[in-house]
Amino acid sequence: MGLLDGKVAIVSGAGGGIGRAEAMLLAREGAKVLVNDVGGLRDGSGAEPGSGNPARDVVDAIVAAGGTAVANHDTVATPTGAAAIIKAAVDAFGRVDLLVNNAGILRDKSFLKMDEAMWDAVIEVHLKGTFLCSQVFAKQIVTQGGGGRVVNTTSVSGMLGNFGQANYSAAKAGIYGLTRTMSIELQKHRVTVNAIAPIAKTRMTEDLPMFQGLDTLTPEHIAPAALFLGSDLCGDRTGHVLAVAGARVYAFKVVETPGRFKETENGVWTGQEIADSWDGIVKA
């Protein structure tokens, strides 16, 4: 018996890296998987030379291992593409139960050199794509009578920032906010919404300095988090960000400091008073 027997899962951006590892593991645990990938370059422009059909390759690997899967090549970044992805899963398997929003691209550039096209492209795939696919998925879940799970993909860059990734960091921070709001609004439909903040060496990250010579942060370390959040093991937990870096699993939370009160009649602080009390205001 697998954790996802009888379930239908959609994994976007599943042609390689983390998405591939997630799709493979979900299938091994009994899910019927729609493997979505447009087969583009890391920056989202065109097909990678010699890449063939990544989504089909993953499907073939799942089927060869005894699982069930279909390939899909629609983009997450348009309403028609998102609708086509969910429809393809319903057409193939009759229903949907789990959506893993993993698709993404990178167009890194320092803030002062980043142009609008770089900004728009990354926001469109990561943040807009997560919104569009999640909305269509959630509407289908409501049609089915409720009960489902969404696993989004945010990032340490979105939580803490990262040099050269203003567009990516903004998109991933937006996904955190989207995850929180979706988790609140979809509770009444018995849909849990959580996110993963992965650190892994993939095609997206392999040329970054932190990953040079490091092979202990693999996509296979990330996939069990998606399995947990997408299965009944998650229970009614919702609105969380589970971070994974190799063998370490931890959580990101937005915290509020106790702060300080100004004990005067009107309670209005001056700029100088804030400066003088800074440590007491920001100390957790």
57-75 pLDDT, tens digit each: 999 999 999 999 999 999 9
Q: What is the pLDDT of residue 46?
A: 59
Query: By residue range, what is the domain housing residue 13?
Result: 8-253
Rounded to whole angstroms, the Cα distance separating 96 from 91 reads 10
Beta strand pairing call for 98-100 and 241-245? unpaired
Mark whether 48 and 175 lie in a shared domain.
yes
250 in catalytic set: no
Mark whether 208 and 269 lie in a shared domain.
no
Mark whether 269 and 181 lie in a shared domain.
no
pLDDT(141) > 90 = yes
In this prediction, residue 85 has a pLDDT band, given cuts at 50, 70 and 90, of: very high
Express the helix, strand and coil content of the chain in percent, nearest 5 each: 45, 15, 40
Model confidence pLDDT, tens digit, residues 26-53: 999 999 999 999 986 655 555 554 456 9
The total number of structural domains that make up the chain: 2
Q: In this structure, is residue 2 part of a structural domain?
A: no
pLDDT(211) > 50 = no
Catalytic residue among 93, 131, 137, 168: 168
Q: What is the pLDDT of residue 212?
A: 43
Q: Does the global pTM surpass 0.85? A: yes
Mark whether 129 and 19 lie in a shared domain.
yes
Strands of the chain (E only): list them.
Answer: 8-11, 32-36, 68-72, 98-100, 148-153, 191-199, 241-245, 248-252
Mark whether 282 and 249 lie in a shared domain.
no
CB 124 within 8 A of CB 135: no
Q: In this structure, is residue 1 part of a structural domain?
A: no
Q: How far is CA 243 from CA 169, 186, 207, in A?
A: 15, 22, 21
Mark whether 101 and 85 lie in a shared domain.
yes
Q: What is the pLDDT of residue 178?
A: 98
**Distance of alpha carbon 279 from the chain centroid:** 35
Mark whether 199 and 62 lie in a shared domain.
yes
Q: In this structure, is residue 172 part of a structural domain?
A: yes
Closest to 185 in 3D by CA, of 124, 241, 238, 255: 238
Structural tokens at position 15:
């042609």
- Residue type present at position 280: G
Report the run of H or E that residue 26 belongs to, with start and end.
helix 17-28
CB 175 within 8 A of CB 195: yes
